[in-house]
Amino acid sequence: MQYHVNGNLVPAEEATVSVRDRGFMYGDAGFETLRAYGGTMFEWEAHANRLRRTCDVLSIDHGIGDGELRKRIHETLEANDLRDAYVKCSITRGVQAGKLTPGPADNPTVVVIVSELPRGGKRGTSVWDAPATAEIVKTRRVPDHALPAHAKTHNYLNGTLARLETEADEALMLDLDGNLTEGATSNLFFVRKGVLHTPSLSGAILPGITRTVVLELADELGIPTRTGCYRPVDLRRADEAFLTNTTWEVRPVGSLGDTELEIGSVTRELATAFDALVESRHY
Ligand code: PMP
């Protein structure tokens, strides 16, 4: 396996960064998880835009254009002869003098790692074979005005603490006021009486790229959709629920705590439409 580190392809075991890198020391970095289908990246522009916005939030002015990042990702896929893959692209503020106050990102660390990810999930099976178990945990989502949820930084401790609380596949977090936000690594959708609901972007959530695609598909399919502010009881009353992220795509929720949930028709319709979109764009 070969990874891309600071402009060079290197064997995975030699792909290292300094122990003084701020990405390692403080989580001072932005990243994107992407997916390649059939050799090209799904929703590249949306990912590039989100990474740029994350770096803007952190004032990491790395000076590397989207085209250059895309080139490095493609080089990494090609070097590993991968067409269907998981891709992670990180940009850190780099190595700086030992104080917390950040300096200019004159020497950012830029890393691209890839691994094979066949269509249909890690095991090469359909998501229908692996509905997610989910649980609402006690750890609250960090408020936006403390650590902007819309920025995808290397600081994943909020989600890590949430996942430590549960054996479930996904830990769902509430905000400080008790409203539903998102999972540790996924956005939440639920369906009640035929209407699709998802927490709105005004809450402390990452604007998931899969979330946006699913909302567009729902619109095209004529599925009535609401985004809003929801309480746990709204989810408990749901007829069906699913999670979205780049790796899971549309993943049905099979249980919420002790309560079993049906994999419903709206979830199926959207997952099928997502699959058809990928097929039409990439194969
Ligand atoms: N929320 C969080 C906290 C995440 O880490 C992710 C995964 N990136 C998502 C939502 C889903 O985002 P996307 O659909 O862009 O993968």
**What are the average pLDDT values for consecutive 10-residue runs of the chain, which has 283 residues?**
98 97 97 97 98 98 97 98 97 94 97 92 55 97 96 98 98 98 98 98 97 98 98 97 95 96 94 93 93
Residue 146 CA to ligand 1 centre (angstroms)? 19
Residues 19 and 102 placed together within one structural domain of the fold = yes
Q: Is the CB of 158 under 6 A from ligand 1?
A: no
Residues 99 and 53 in one domain: yes
Residue 122, in any domain of the structure: no
Q: Is 33 in the pocket of ligand 1 (CB under 6 A)?
A: yes
Closest Cα to atom 2 of ligand 1: 185
Instruction: Supply the pLDDT for residue 129.
Output: 63
The response to whether residue 54 sits with its C-beta less than 6 Å from ligand 1 reads no
Q: Which residue has the tokens 């049906």?
A: 262
Q: How many A from CA of 182 to the centre of ligand 1? A: 9
Look at residues 59, 90, 116 and tell me which one is the last residue of a structural domain.
Answer: 116
Query: How high is the pLDDT of residue 125?
Result: 53
Does 181 contact ligand 1 (Cβ within 6 A)? no
Measured CA to CA, the distance from residue 12 to residue 24 in angstroms comes to: 18
Residue 265: CA atoms inside 13 Å, Cβ hemisphere, count?
Answer: 6
Q: What pLDDT does 180 receive?
A: 98
Residue 220's domain is classified under what CATH number?
3.20.10.10
**Residue from 271, 169, 171 nearest 218 by CA:** 271
Dist CA 275 CA 61 (whole Å): 36
Report yes or no on 21 lying in a domain. yes
Calculate how far, in angstroms, residue 99's C-alpha sits from the geometric centre of ligand 1. 30
The total of structural domains in the chain comes to: 2
**Residue at a domain's end among 68, 88, 116:** 116
Question: φ and ψ at 22, to 5 degrees?
Answer: -70, -20
Indicate the DSSP class of residue 204.
Answer: S
CATH number of the domain bearing residue 34: 3.30.470.10
Q: Are residues 101 and 169 in the same domain?
A: no
Ligand 1 center–CA 173 separation, angstroms: 13
210 lines ligand 1 (CB under 6 A): yes
Q: Is residue 145 part of a domain?
A: yes
pLDDT at 123: 43
CA of 171 to the centre of ligand 1 (A): 13
Is residue 50 domain-resident?
Answer: yes
Strands 2-5 and 109-116: antiparallel
- Using the mean position of ligand 1's atoms as its centre, give its distance from the Cα of residue 195 in Å: 23
Please report whether residue 121 resides in a domain: no
Q: What is the pTM of this model?
A: 0.97
Residue 85 in domain: yes
Extended beta strands in 125-246, E state: 132-136, 170-174, 180-183, 187-192, 195-199, 225-228, 240-245
Q: What is the ipTM score, two decimals?
A: 0.99
The whole-number pLDDT of residue 130 equals 74
Q: Which residues pair with 88 in a beta bridge?
A: 33, 113
Interval between CA 170 and ligand 1 midpoint (Å): 12
Q: Is the Cβ atom of 187 under 6 angstroms away from ligand 1? A: yes
Task: Indicate whether 31 and 12 sit together in one domain.
Answer: yes
Kindly report the protein residue whose alpha carbon is nearest to atom 7 of ligand 1.
185
Distance of CA 41 to the CA centre of its chain: 14
Do 189 and 77 belong to one domain? no
pLDDT at residue number 98: 81
Asked whether residue 8 is domain-assigned, the answer is yes
Q: Give me the residue label for tokens 């902007």.
A: 148
Residues 180 and 101 in one domain: no
Asked if residue 161 and residue 91 are part of one domain, the reply reads: no
Question: Which residues constitute the domain of residue 61?
Answer: 2-116
Q: How far is CA 126 from CA 141, 211, 240, in A?
A: 30, 19, 18
Are 138 and 271 in the same domain? yes
Phi-psi region of 250 (alpha: psi -120 to 50; beta: other; left: phi over 0): beta
Query: Whose CA is closest to atom 1 on ligand 1?
Result: 186
Question: Which ligand 1 atom sits closest to the C-alpha of 182?
Answer: 1
Contacts of residues 5-10 at CB distance under 8 Å and 24 or more positions apart, as own/partner, are 5/109, 5/110, 5/111, 6/109, 6/110, 6/111, 7/72, 7/110, 9/75, 9/76, 9/79
| Residue 74 and residue 177 share a domain | no
